[in-house]
Chain A
């Protein structure tokens, strides 16, 4: 079988498998070969799970032939960020040298649910060490090397779900699972020109996933289209007794486009204040596209310390989650030099200030919902810049990152967001557009993103990978 199955949307790939025109084993072989031959070029892969993949693909082939079709992911290969536990002796490294030989006895809930859906695990994908929780400031922060962008080998793939972004972008897997505490799905999806969905907090079980920040961590898909992301979310969402933060609210991906549907979009005032010119231009063009399917209104959020509160919570919980590693000094075994000491400063965060951040967070969630209730989505550039060069710091120790109000609001308040490619910026790199929704409105933002993708073809463009 040739590589003609690469870059097919999941519904098309699934239909070909279901009809018997494609063999799940042959499809798995195509993607395993690409992971083996092209994965190292992008530092995208930690472990190729060939044995498990072939076993799952053979099972899918038998079941489908016997008429036991499990659904649209049956027989579809995928990759998982290497912070999701996998049984069977497959390492789960968390992207960090001190954990490179770590193994678990059971699969994470997400891995188990994808197995139940018939998906085929082909690889554990590279990531920024400890999902960036020790304060990395530049791309060389993983023991597998910096994530390399398929659109430009001198550019970063983004992080912390680095391999999840680059592997989907380069056609090494049809979809991948990533995680986001703050930006770790949106960054690699945006920089690599693919679609990424950050589900709302509590939508997807985190059981078996590395904990970075218990009240901010989310798991979600990266794929070629918004529809693909919806199909994957449908398989992995739902309450899990093993993760008490998961919601009892059911999720069923609708995936049905209502002809002539009109959306209400909000745009935060000053959202373009810190973005590059090509990003700004592409966003303005996207707004023109969105006016064809809805109305757009400029809006403001109340003056609250959105970024400071979310960052304080992240830093304190991460320092606690990795207390042993930090206290023991083993953080000096991490790859990024700044990860050897940055977390020590978090001892200076006073307990009262942390609790204040949690109290402010409740106000933030309430105020965000009051605004979001007026709209189907807030839209904004997915990233303020295109992917940075591999050798450049993208934030400083003192002043932090480029302002990211959308990220602070969305992650701090636990809101879903989907990011889609929306153009080309400097150095041949993709730019992106994000849709952020009200709590539990994944279907609404996916519908908006699908509508956008029916108007544009950026999601159909792929890097040249040979």
Chain B
């Protein structure tokens, strides 16, 4: 997987999703800014996807079953 390159296709697709949800609220200038935000998201995702982890590397997220009487 290319982890350093920048996928314009992914940016376009995700930006279309965001624009479909919220575009009617935004001015052209705001949409331009929003696209930069989506580019930043994709750039960050590429960096994260480049980290190799093992199957045993769990999320740093505690969860415990709930029991109301304890």
Contact = CB atoms under 8 A, between A and B. Distances in A.
Interface string B36-50: 111111101101111
Give the interface size class of chain B. Answer: 20 to 34
A115 B39 CA distance: 47
Contact of B40 (A332, A365, A400): A400
Nearest to B40: A398
Interface size class, chain A:
35 or more
A338 B48 contact: no
A347 B47 CA distance: 18
A347 to B, nearest CB: 5
Contact of A345 (B40, B51, B58): B40
A344 B41 contact: no
B67 interface: no
A348 B42 CA distance: 8
Contact of B18 (A347, A353, A396): A347
A350 interface: yes
A215 interface: yes
Contact of B60 (A315, A340, A342, A365): A365
Interface string B18-49: 10011001100010011011111110110111
Contacts of B57: 359, 362-363
A186 B26 CA distance: 34
Contacts of A70: none
A345 B57 CA distance: 28
A98 to B, nearest CB: 15
A398 B39 contact: yes
Interface in A292-322: 304-305, 308-309, 311-312, 315
A358 B61 contact: yes
B61 A215 contact: yes
A396 B18 CA distance: 20
B8 interface: no
Nearest to B27: A341
A358 B37 contact: no
Interface string A276-289: 00000000000000
Contacts of B36: 396-398
A348 B48 contact: no
Nearest to A345: B37
A332 B48 CA distance: 31
Given A309-B48, A353-B49, A400-B40, A361 B22 contact: no
A353 B48 contact: yes
Nearest to A347: B18
A308 B60 contact: no
A363 B14 contact: no
Contacts of A363: 51, 53, 57
Nearest to B22: A344
Nearest to B59: A358
Given A341-B26, A350-B45, A305 B51 contact: yes
B53 A344 contact: no
B40 A353 contact: no
B38 A348 contact: yes
A348 B18 contact: yes
B39 A359 contact: no
A340 B30 contact: yes
Given A353-B49, A359-B58, 16 more contacts: A135-B37, A312-B45, A341-B22, A342-B33, A342-B34, A345-B40, A348-B41, A349-B45, A353-B48, A356-B48, A358-B59, A361-B59, A361-B60, A363-B57, A396-B36, A397-B33
15 contacts: A304-B51, A308-B47, A308-B48, A329-B25, A341-B34, A344-B21, A348-B15, A348-B42, A350-B45, A355-B59, A359-B59, A362-B59, A362-B60, A397-B36, A397-B40
